[in-house]
């Protein structure tokens, strides 16, 4: 049950991007009405940038996609759900290369211009023949309106598809940005969520696009956590086809800033959708830490709070338990934290002031805030001017159920 994710809106085509989907049947248990294969075709001249998981067991497709982006000249992205092709060593790399070569062959693209992506179960070989067998159908299906079908085809434990579009005006030209993402568990991206693709029709120099994808990730996919578990396959790819607007060649330009903010808007919304659709989530919680000495320590406190199993179960129960908040803040490892300066707010309700439960705090007020489907936990550290925000969920029975039964 996703927390306040709207139904899939109308998605705007991005000039220069065509997307086709098909059913490969990667997982035998794929429901009859679902697809699991996506081919995204880019016009010649598009810029592509990406950020990828820092997990040491990074999957075969992650390794190849990162190398392919560095080489340049990307013309297609091929994605399967149902199997992550991770912890598969050299055979996994060979499987991914075979699929990419088949896409290049069938779509008449240069060898080495195709990037692979996979998501699903870790540690099992890909059913390459089934995937290759479905490529003709996916390529034949490719069209400008394929974004919504793709958003559905990349889902695994997601309960809802996640996608949106925005338009921004840059130097008088209208630039269209459309993005899709998947992810619901194993979510603490150290670079990006499991899989997210954002396309735009702006013209962006590759170096600028690389800078932008990192800036945007640090505002969006690098600020979410469901269970603190970082996937082997996290990938966030940003494509700019160059069909609209001026050519962006300088990260200090106003055009760069305008596009970056538009892309960040899409990416942040998608990242929040991933949290809202978190496995077993019944709450969407914004954890805001203010007054830190620097950004790093704000993030340290925010993630400790966001990932504490005791706090997450208290949030599931709607229990405004100041003790668990102070436990989590206290164990986050900040050097010489003066607990006597720590304040805690739930939305506008002051729970603790100066490290102590506030005199005027009534538990009914805290319970009222935590009964909502979404609320803000705000922590003031009183050590400086830095602030950071992360988004997270509660820990419910259903989280355990979903993950205990994942492979059955």
Residues that bind its own copies (CB under 8 A): 54-58, 84, 86-89, 121-124, 185-186, 188, 190, 227-232, 308-310, 313-314, 316-317, 319, 321-324, 326-332, 334, 337, 339-340, 352, 354-357, 395-397, 399-401, 403-408
From the CB of 367, what's the least distance to its own copies, in Å? 11
Please name the helix (run of DSSP H) or strand (run of DSSP E) that holds residue 151, with its range, or none.
helix 147-153
Beta carbon nearer to its own copies, 108 or 408: 408
Q: Minimum Å distance from CB 289 to its own copies?
A: 14
Residue 244's DSSP bridge partners are: 202
Radius of gyration of the chain measured on its C-alpha atoms? 22
CB of 75 or CB of 182, closer to its own copies? 182
Task: Count CB atoms within 10 A of the CB of residue 99.
Answer: 24
Three-class DSSP labels, 24-58: CCCCCCCCCCCCCEEEEEECCCCEEEEEECCCCCC
Nearer to its own copies, 47 or 119 (CB): 119
Q: Which of 193, 232, 392, 393 is catalytic?
A: 193
CB of 370 to its own copies, least distance (A): 12
Q: Which of 270, 264, 274, 305 is nearest to 388 (CA)?
A: 305
For 202, what's the count of Cα atoms within 13 Å in the CB-facing half-sphere? 37
Considering the complex, state which of residue 34 and residue 300 has its C-beta at the smaller distance from its own copies: 300
C-alpha–C-alpha distance, residues 306 and 185, integer Å: 14
Give min distance, CB of 189 to its own copies, in A: 11
Q: Pick between residue 237 and residue 301 the one whose CB is nearest to its own copies.
A: 301
Q: How many helices (H) and strands (E) does the chain have?
A: 11, 15
Q: How many CA atoms lie within 13 A of 235 on its CB side?
A: 31
What minimum distance in Å lies between the beta carbon of 111 and its own copies?
A: 27
Kindly give, in sequence order, each residue whose CB lies less than 8 Å from that of residue 201, ignoring residues fewer than 6 positions away: 14, 15, 16, 17, 175, 176, 240, 241, 242, 243, 244, 245
Q: Does residue 193 carry a catalytic annotation?
A: yes
Catalytic residues: 193
């Amino acid at each position: 049950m996703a927390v306040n994710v709207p139904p899939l809106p109308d998605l705007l085509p991005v000039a220069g991007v065509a997307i086709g989907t098909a059913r490969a049947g990667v997982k035998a248990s794929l429901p009859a009405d679902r697809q699991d294969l996506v081919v995204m075709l880019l016009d010649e001249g598009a810029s592509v940038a990406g950020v990828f998981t820092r997990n040491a067991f990074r999957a075969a497709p992650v390794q190849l996609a990162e190398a392919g982006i560095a080489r340049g000249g990307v013309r297609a992205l091929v994605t399967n759900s149902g199997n992550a092709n991770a912890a598969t060593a050299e055979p996994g790399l060979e499987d991914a290369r075979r699929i990419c070569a088949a896409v290049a062959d069938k779509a008449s693209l240069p060898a080495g211009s195709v990037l692979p992506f996979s998501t699903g179960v870790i540690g099992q070989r890909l059913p390459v023949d089934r995937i290759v067998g479905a490529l003709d159908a996916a390529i034949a299906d490719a069209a400008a309106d394929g974004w919504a079908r793709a958003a559905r085809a990349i889902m695994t434990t997601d309960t809802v598809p996640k996608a949106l579009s925005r338009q921004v005006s840059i130097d008088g030209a209208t630039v269209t940005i459309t993005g899709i993402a998947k992810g619901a568990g194993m979510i603490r991206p150290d670079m990006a969520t499991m899989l997210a693709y954002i396309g735009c029709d702006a013209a962006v120099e590759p170096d600028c696009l690389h800078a932008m994808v990192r800036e945007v990730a640090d505002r969006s996919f690098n600020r979410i956590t469901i269970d603190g578990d970082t996937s082997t396959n996290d990938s966030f790819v940003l494509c700019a086809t160059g069909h609209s607007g001026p050519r962006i060649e300088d990260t200090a330009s106003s055009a760069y800033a305008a596009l970056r903010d538009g892309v960040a808007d899409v990416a942040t919304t998608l990242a929040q959708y991933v949290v809202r659709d978190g496995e077993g989530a019944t709450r969407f919680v914004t954890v805001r830490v203010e007054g830190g000495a620097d950004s790093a320590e704000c993030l340290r406190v925010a993630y400790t709070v966001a990932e504490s199993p005791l706090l997450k179960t208290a949030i599931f129960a709607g229990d405004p338990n100041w003790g668990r908040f102070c436990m989590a803040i206290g164990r986050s490892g900040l050097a010489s934290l003066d607990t006597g300066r720590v304040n805690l707010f739930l939305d506008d309700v002051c729970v603790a002031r100066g490290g102590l439960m506030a005199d005027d705090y009534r538990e009914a007020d805290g319970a009222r805030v935590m009964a909502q489907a979404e609320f803000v936990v705000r922590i003031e550290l009183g050590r400086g001017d830095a602030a950071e925000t992360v988004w997270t969920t509660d820990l419910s029975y259903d989280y355990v159920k979903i993950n205990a039964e994942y492979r059955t």
